[in-house]
Amino acid sequence: MIPEWVQDILTSKWTWAALALVVAYVLTLVGIVVYTWLERRGAAFIQRRPGPNRRGPYGIVQAVADAVKLATKEDVVPAGANKWLHAVAPMIGMTVALTIIAVIPFSGDFELFGQTFRLQIADMNFGFIFILAISSLAVYGVALGGWSSNNKYSLLGSLRSGAQMISYEISLGLSLVGVLLIYNTVKLDEMVIAQTGAIWHWGVVQAPMAFLIFLTSSYAEANRVPFDLVEADSELVAGFHTEYSSLRFGLFYMGEYVHMAVSAILTVILFFGGWHIPWAEEIFGSAPYVTLFPWLLFGAALVCLVIAWDTSRPRRRVHTRGNLLLAFLLVCVAGSAAALGGLYLAGDVQTEIPWLASICGMLTQVIVLVLKFAFFFWLFIWVRWTLPRFRYDQLMKLGWKVMLPLALLNIGVTGVLVLLGVL
């Protein structure tokens, strides 16, 4: 069969923790390249303009150019600033956002040579509490960054952020209490397992109010429109990061995207069944994700072909030869994906090589999770370019007079329903 040492690697929990780390970093740090590109192209799509389309296919290299520009800019520390805090503040925001991802499970349990593994960096039995505890620290980055800059606009921005993040954290935490009551667990993977089966097992159907409050609060926590009072370019120039430049600004900027990514992935895990496809067990048998894997490959091949067709179309764009090369590569990828899918089906991997099949099932789950995550990330962008910004007093009124009572009411109603055995 397979050599001993390969089996050792495959059955080491460090292997899968490391792979989870890779997935986490791809979704956050590497993903920033895609997210900034998506934000700019998405904004352009909504605003009826082309957006960045010069460097690379569909302008995707633009994000790299932006990063290089930021990195090579002069790093200015304003006179009278608290130098130490000014330097530390951007790191706090980024670190906090990245830490949360440690407890997020990217796949369900899968079996290899009789042992069970899960794609998760740290399997804590208090995962959910950990998220709430860590995410409250994010306010320090923004508040200290604004305060240490020795700028009145920054100061106003950081004061706003302090008030805003603390107010909305309460409704965020309370909205999740209802979810806890329903799932009866604080472990994120168990929450996803509780949502398997029909689509009405999903958190969004079971606790719609909690979902709305969570979504709104997570927008406020990520300082995104309509809650971007913290930066509010028309009032506060750039809010808390007015005095930041170069990579320190870059860290704040990336921190925002990592925060959005974490919020989006949490929304999926808590309310949209995580890696779970509704009715998958009923339709595809006991191991649905293993069965679905080749079809996922065929789907990917189709998507590659569509993109290849689009890039190879003659149009007035620079890098035409590059586009043709890209189209060729995409066709190759599509061909290999389809061939792999065919091999998987023809070779009957599911019964012949069970360890490979279970890894493939895990990959399917990760991809399902990422697809759902992509929608919620897009929702962030969609909302940003559609809604106006709240005013400070309206924000507080919404947080304390609407969201907080609703979250409390939600706990009461959910509790009664759980007691009655409806949920």
d(CA 298, CA 300): 5
Q: Which amino acid is at 273?
A: G
In the complex, the smallest distance separating the C-beta of residue 157 from other proteins, rounded to whole angstroms, is 11
Measured at the CA of 223, the angle between CA 218 and CA 224, to 5 degrees, comes to 85
In the complex, the smallest distance separating the C-beta of residue 384 from other proteins, rounded to whole angstroms, is 8
Q: Which is nearer to other proteins, 171 or 242 (CB)?
A: 242
In the complex, the smallest distance separating the C-beta of residue 388 from other proteins, rounded to whole angstroms, is 4
Q: Which is nearer to other proteins, 41 or 187 (CB)?
A: 41
Q: Which is nearer to other proteins, 229 or 330 (CB)?
A: 229
Could you list the residues that contact other proteins (CB under 8 A)?
Answer: 43, 46-49, 152-153, 156, 160, 225-226, 228-229, 232-237, 385-394
- Angle of helix 404-420 relative to helix 152-183, nearest 10 degrees? 10
Q: Which is nearer to other proteins, 75 or 233 (CB)?
A: 233
**What's the sign of the alpha-carbon dihedral 119, 120, 123, 129?**
negative
In the complex, the smallest distance separating the C-beta of residue 393 from other proteins, rounded to whole angstroms, is 5
In the complex, the smallest distance separating the C-beta of residue 40 from other proteins, rounded to whole angstroms, is 12
In the complex, the smallest distance separating the C-beta of residue 65 from other proteins, rounded to whole angstroms, is 22
In the complex, the smallest distance separating the C-beta of residue 154 from other proteins, rounded to whole angstroms, is 12
In the complex, the smallest distance separating the C-beta of residue 156 from other proteins, rounded to whole angstroms, is 7
In the complex, the smallest distance separating the C-beta of residue 386 from other proteins, rounded to whole angstroms, is 6
Q: Which is nearer to other proteins, 284 or 392 (CB)?
A: 392
Q: How many CB atoms lie within 10 A of CB 185?
A: 16
Q: Which is nearer to other proteins, 100 or 381 (CB)?
A: 381
Q: Which is nearer to other proteins, 10 or 383 (CB)?
A: 383
Residue holding tokens 């490959």? 297
In the complex, the smallest distance separating the C-beta of residue 53 from other proteins, rounded to whole angstroms, is 16
Q: Which is nearer to other proteins, 154 or 323 (CB)?
A: 154
Q: Which is nearer to other proteins, 46 or 177 (CB)?
A: 46
Three-state secondary structure readout of the chain: CCCHHHHHHHCCHHHHHHHHHHHHHHHHHHHHHHHHHHHHHHHHHHCCCCCCCCCCHHHCCHHHHHHHHHHHCCCCCCCCCCHHHHHHHHHHHHHHHHHHHHHCCCCCCEEECCEEECCCCCCCCCHHHHHHHHHCCHHHHHHHHHHHCCCHHHHHHHHHHHHHHHHHHHHHHHHHHHHHHHHCCCCHHHHHHHCCCCHHHCHHHHCHHHHHHHHHHHHHHCCCCCCHHHCCHHHHCCHHHCCCCHHHHHHHHHHHHHHHHHHHHHHHHHHCCCCCCCCHHHHHCCCHHHHHHHHHHHHHHHHHHHHHHHHHCCCCCCCHHHHHHHHHHHHHHHHHHHHHHHHHHHCCHHHHCHHHHHHHHHHHHHHHHHHHHHHHHHHHHHHHCCCCCCCHHHHHHHHHHHHHHHHHHHHHHHHHHHHHCCC
Q: Which is nearer to other proteins, 117 or 153 (CB)?
A: 153
